[in-house]
Structure 1
Amino acid sequence: MSASHADAAGHGGSSRLLRLINERTALGCLFLRDRLTRPELVELTGFSKPTASEVIKRLRAAGLVTVAGRTSGGPGPRADVYAIDADAAYSAAVSLREPDRLDVAVADLRGELRRTVKCPLGDDPEAAVVAAVADACAMAEVDRDRLRSVWVAVPGSYDGRGDRVRNIDIEGLETPGLRQRLAEALGTPVRIDNDVNLAALAERHHGVGGTEGFALLWLGEAGIGLGIDLGDEAGGGLLHGFSGAAGEIGYLPIGTPSAVAPPDLQELAAGPAIVRLSQRHGREVSSARSAIEVAETADDAEFFDVVARRIAIGLASVVTILAPAVIVLAGEIGAAGSGRLGEAVGAALAKLGFGTPVKRTAVEGDAVLRGGLDAALATVRRQLLADPLATGNSEGAA
């Protein structure tokens, strides 16, 4: 991240552009390294010492950078250690959970989690989202005016062209204009995405997804979804499709084409189907997650073989078309147990002629909220890097 040319003198717009480049460069280094001394910033960027001092001064005046301590030990004089001011901006993630739950998480500019809130959706989901974000900020003692980005995860597909959520069972959210209404009510930019897509984002950054492209199969108690990471060679990012409905694999018909209403993958492998299968094996369980865990304890190979064959039939089309480097199992069912289900699905795919490895998710905690916070934080940082002083918190920062 070199800016060795940045000490060049200029006039008018040229000098302002050079200052902007320097500010972006220094802020980017602090985002990457977390903490830096002025000599370290000089070494990383090629700034002269006076330029580094001026850039740090401007970023501190804008409220984006703070002194986090001083160096100790070693040769030479002690130096101030600079860091991103965690309270300069905040981001939030919202996860709507079928049938009637809402989770919110708020994080600061350094990515540290400040607060999580869980509450019922009630009869007005939009109002519940706005109230829950406000409550989370209040509990975290976060200045609402510094909330710069909110990402909302929905258990359905989001069509950005019409600002509309589809394929969702939460009543009241399919009315067009949801993103715009939430942005106006919250007073900050809002983005909406499928919950499994955001879980896939978390898997890439914190799990076993990697950068070569992968498919994350979300096996949940309520339903099934697919997140498709295209990998760095294909430009990175998630595949959303023309209408935002890419990955709605739960609706994939499984069965004889001549059948009047062939079952879909969700009917065969989502939570209720796994519970029924477990009951047929003589076990009374309250959830699909517990069904997987009990079957592992009982070493029930037949149970896992049946479940894996059902899942593999749906995955065969994914592997044939996308050829992902790896398939990651996530969700309450996919993450259950110690990985026996993943081994069984991999074996079932191999019998169909596919050698794609299958792994259990490695993301700890709530993958949807974690992915949403990653996306929201990246959005805020891009905003700040576009023009650090314009989006800083000091009126006299120029």
Structure 2
Amino acid sequence: MTQQAGSSRLLRGINESAALRLLLDRGPLTRGDLRELTGLAKPTTSDVMRRLQDAGLALVVGRTSGGPGPNADIYDVNPDAAYAAAVSLQEKDSTLVTAICDLSGEVRARVTTALGEDPVRSVTDAVRKASRAAKVDRLDHVQLGVPGAHHDGTIRFVHLPGWSRPGLIDDIRTALGTELSVDNDVNLAATAERSRGIAKDADSFALLWLGEEGLGLGIDLGGRIIRGARGGAGEVGYMPTGPDGDFQDLVGGPAILELAREHGITADRAATAATDERLLAPLASRVAYGIAAVVAVLDPAMVVLAGEVGQAGGAPLAAAVGAALRELSVLDTEIAATGLTEDAVLLGALDTTLTAVRTALLSRR
């Protein structure tokens, strides 16, 4: 009898997880829709939906009308069943951008706060301010994006006071009192490009972040972000390009502005300079030089140009880089401009934190 009871509980959990996943991915749905998609019997489907409602995970959002047969309840996930936060550290202006979303993925609030002297207090204050704006009193997961790598609880390559202190991640997690994950900002941008941008259907791709301040490479192989043994995969700004320089010296923001001046272009931002036709060929030649090394090692199906410079240069810069790359590489690699116009890092952090919350909910059924 004990074994049968255990098996029954396991089966109920499997059925509830299946129904909840369908509501998350394809909702709203009627019980008829759920029966068709899961193959469950009518009484079983009714029982599953009752339990999900009792657990506060699903609710009735309407009724069908005007069709053959009786009207039917329409179910969807309860957006207030869980909340998550995404936090993006903006090194260039020493701020934190924080967004709160509910279980449906709707963003309830977004706030920008200045960094203080203590990173722990800066993050916790930012999350609490955003939570108040969203009228949320609990969080199930927080995703922090940083312009650097992290390994063994320590963030590296972030040039802000206190952010490379050993044990910082654990201290932030303790102060928040909830689950916390940390990832490189370019990895998060690649996550957003995969879920929302031009790389949706790519088997594999690399996202080259051409920023005003720094460079980075997000590597997506078959839908999996490659981070490396110590979280440093993709730190291409440090990639040597000769005995006296690295890739940052070729296509970092200051280098692009210097290149612009050499071609008679006056601009106060690298992204502005990248829109000038006179800069396309010389800038593309430099970008292609670094991409050729990436392609030789990874052979991605596509390389996406992102960041402030990649976004501003758009399709013309991507086309020029593609032409320059064909002169350097024997591999035929598509070069494309990012398909995102919003803050890609924050979008990727939202996607990641929401996935973590949904996975945890499904595993508990």
The normalised TM-score by structure 2 is 0.96
Asked whether the equivalents of residues 120 and 175 of structure 2 are also in contact (C-alpha less than 8 Å), the reply is no
State how far apart, in whole Å, the 1-side matches of 2:179 and 2:109 are: 20
Any conservation in 1 of the 2:202–2:302 contact (CA below 8 Å)? no
After superposition, the C-alpha distances for 1:108-135 in whole angstroms (9 at most, x for unaligned) are 1011111111111121222111111111
Q: Hey, what does 1:50 align to over in structure 2?
A: 43
**Pair 1:243-2:230 in alignment:** yes
User: In structure 2, what residue type is equivalent to 1:378?
Assistant: T
Counterpart CA distance in 2 for 1:164 and 1:268 is: 29
Higher relative contact order (CA 8 A, sep 6+): 1
Deviation at 1:282, TM superposition (A): 2.2
Which of 275, 280, 289 lines up with 2:271 in the alignment? 289
Give per-residue Cα distances to partners, 1:253-278, cap 9 Å, x unaligned: 112x3xxxx11111210111111221
Contact 2:292/2:329 (8 A) holds in 1: no
The structure 2 residue matched to 1:365, chosen from 327, 342, 345, is: 342
1:396 aligned residue:
none
**Which runs of 5 or more structure 2 residues have no equivalent in the other structure?**
none
Gaps of 5+ in 1: 1-9, 389-398
8 A contact 2:16–2:48 mirrored in 1: yes
Matched residues in 1 for 2:341 and 2:107: separation? 14
Deviation at 1:71, TM superposition (A): 0.7
Q: 1:216 aligns with which of 207, 228, 236?
A: 207
Other-structure match for 1:226: 217
Partner-residue secondary structure (3-state), 1:254: strand
Distance 2:57 2:20 in 1: 8
Are positions 1:148 and 2:124 aligned together?
no
Q: Which range moved further: 196-205 or 284-293? A: 284-293
The answer as to whether partners of 1:59 and 1:65 remain within 8 angstroms in 2 is yes
Say which is worse superposed, 46-55 or 194-203, in terms of deviation.
46-55
The 1-side partners of 2:28 and 2:21 are apart by: 11
Give the C-alpha shift of residue 363 in structure 1.
1.5
- Distance between the aligned counterparts of 2:253 and 2:337, measured in 1? 17
Instruction: Indicate the residue corresponding to 1:15 in structure 2.
Output: 8
TM-aligned CA deviation for residue 370 of structure 1: 0.4
2:315 maps to a residue whose letter is G
Structure 1-normalised TM-score?
Answer: 0.88
Give CA-to-partner distance per residue, 1:298-322, whole Å, 9 cap, x none: x32xx22211121111111110010
- In structure 2, how many angstroms separate the alpha carbons of the residues matched to 1:353 and 1:35? 48
Equivalence for 1:376: 353
Q: Is the 8 A contact 1:329 1:342 kept in 2?
A: yes
Alignment partner of 2:133 out of 136, 139, 148? 139
Between the aligned residues of both structures, percent identity stands at 50
Q: Is the 8 A contact 2:240 2:246 kept in 1?
A: yes
1:63 aligned partner, one-letter code: G
- Tell me, in whole angstroms, the C-alpha distance in 1 between the residues paired with 2:49 and 2:326: 57
Aligned residues between the structures: 361
CA contact 1:126–1:173 (8 Å) conserved in 2: no
Query: 197, 217, 221: which is aligned to 2:187?
Result: 197
Q: 1:237, 1:353 → 2: CA distance?
A: 25
Tell me by how many angstroms 1:252 deviates: 0.6
Residue of structure 1 in register with 2:123 after alignment = 129
RMSD of Structure 2 on Structure 1 (CA): 1.4
How far has the Cα of 1:23 moved from its partner? 0.9
Taking the aligned partners of 2:361 and 2:79, their CA distance within structure 1 comes to 13
1:392: which partner in 2?
A: none
CA contact (8 A) 2:280 2:320 kept: yes
Looking at structure 2, the residues matched to 107 and 364 of structure 1 have their Cα atoms a distance apart, in angstroms, of: 19
Question: Secondary structure of 1:142's partner?
Answer: coil
Deviation at 1:284, TM superposition (A): 2.1
Q: Which residue of 2 aligns with 1:107?
A: 101
How far is 1:143 from its partner?
2.3
* 8 Å Cα contact 2:311-2:341 kept in structure 1: no
Q: Which residue of 2 aligns with 1:7?
A: none
